[in-house]
Amino acid sequence: MREGNERFVTGTSSHPNQDASRRSSLVENQHPFAVIFGCSDSRLAAEIIFDLGLGDAFVVRTAGQVIDDAVLGSLEYSISVLGVPLIVVLGHDSCGAVTATKNSVETGDMPVGFMRDLVERITPSVLTSLRNDKHEVNDMVVEHVKQTSQRLVDSSRVISDAIDGGRTAVLGLSYSLADGRANVVSGIGEL
C-alpha cells in the first residue's frame, strides 16, 4: 500500500490488476490483502490513492469513518471469512464530518436527522483533541482515526481475537488532500 500511495503521489500510478484476466480470476473467490475502512468523501477513493486493483482491498466507507453494526459486520467478515491480515482506518484532512462535529461542540447546535448520529459518534474524538489543546480540524481528524482504530478493537471480539492471535493488525492513516500522501498515525497489533 505504501508503494502504491507513493506512485499515486508522484503521478506514476500503474493501475495494477484492472484487466479482464484479473476480473476472470476473481469470479469464484477473493483474497484481498487489506480491508480499508475509510471516510466516504468523494476525494478519498481508496483503490485509487493506493494504486490498487480488483480483489486487492476490501473497502468499507462511511462519512467520517463512523462505526456502526454494518461496519463491524463487514470488518469481521473480512477478518474471519476472507482472512485479511490488515485493517486500515483511513481519515483525511478537512473532513466534513469532523468539521461539523467541531462546529457542534463549539456552538452547541446539533444537526438534524441522522447527521446528528454522525456528530454524536465523532464528538469524543473532538473533545479529546480539545482537551489536548489541539484545536485544528486536522488534529481532530488524527485523533478520530486513533480513537476509531481503538474502538474497532474494543467493540469486536473477532477483531481483538485476531489481533491477539497475530492474524491481523489495525493501522491508522491520515490522508492529505493536497499532496495525496497517506501518513501513519497509529498502529495496533503486529504490523
The secondary structure of 83-137 as a DSSP string is ---EEEEEEETT-HHHHHHHHHHHH-PPPSTTHHHHHHHHHHHHHHHHHTT--SH
pTM as predicted: 0.95
All domains of the chain, ordered by start, with CATH? Answer: 40-45+62-188 (3.40.1050.10)
Cell of residue 53, nine digits: 486493483
**Looking at the chain, which runs of residues are DSSP E strands?**
34-39, 57-62, 86-92, 169-175, 182-188
Residues 100-152 have pLDDT tens digits of 999 999 999 999 999 999 999 999 999 999 999 999 999 999 999 999 999 99
**Cell numbers linked to 17:** 490488476
**What strands lie across the sheet with 169-175, from one edge to the other?**
57-62, 34-39, 86-92, 169-175, 182-188
pLDDT in the model for residue 177: 97
Give me the pLDDT at residue 133, please.
Answer: 98
Are residues 128 and 76 in contact, defined by beta-carbon separation less than 8 angstroms? no
| Average pLDDT for 159-178 | 98
Classify 171 as helix, strand or coil: strand
